[in-house]
Amino acid sequence: DAGVIQSPRHEVTEMGQEVTLRCKPISGHDYLFWYRQTMMRGLELLIYFNNNVPIDDSGMPEDRFSAKMPNASFSTLKIQPSEPRDSAVYFCASSLSSEQYFGPGTRLTVT
């Protein structure tokens, strides 16, 4: 199994632009999580899905952030419009049981 796949691995964009991060979970996993990691705030859970349905989005910082999971093998996290304070590493993780498997992350830089 290839593990959790994320794209792009690096994204540099200008303030105000729309950013879309993509994630493919491990096949057969029914939970998908989006995390954000920064030096200041550490690892934060943004939102998670179960069987493609959003269960808890209380960690989504504001309305500029949205996430979708149209099918069991694909999820997106969108930021529109992006701001410099959104610069971070965004991880996607999936699980079938308690253990969460993280993807390689997307390093987002907003200038």
Partner 1 sequence: GENVEQHPSTLSVQEGDSAVIKCTYSDSASNYFPWYKQELGKRPQLIIDIRSNVGEKKDQRIAVTLNKTAKHFSLHITETQPEDSAVYFCAASMDTGGGNKLTFGTGTQLKVEL
Considering the rule CB under 8 A, would residue 83 count as an interface residue with partner 1?
no
Considering the rule CB under 8 A, would residue 71 count as an interface residue with partner 1?
no
Rounded to a whole number of angstroms, the minimum distance from the CB of residue 5 to partner 1 is 12
Rounded to a whole number of angstroms, the minimum distance from the CB of residue 15 to partner 1 is 25
- Helix or strand run (H / E) with residue 63: none
Binds partner 1 by CB under 8 A, chosen from 48, 69, 90, 110: 48
Binds partner 1 by CB under 8 A, chosen from 38, 50, 80, 109: 50
Closest by CA to 110, choosing from 67, 75, 81, 76, is 81
Q: Which residues of 46-81 are buried (b: 16+ CB within 10 A; e: fewer)?
A: bbbbeeeebeeeeebeeeebebebeebbebebebee
Considering the rule CB under 8 A, would residue 91 count as an interface residue with partner 1?
yes
Rounded to a whole number of angstroms, the minimum distance from the CB of residue 68 to partner 1 is 17
Q: Which amino acid is at 100?
A: Q
Considering the rule CB under 8 A, would residue 42 count as an interface residue with partner 1?
yes
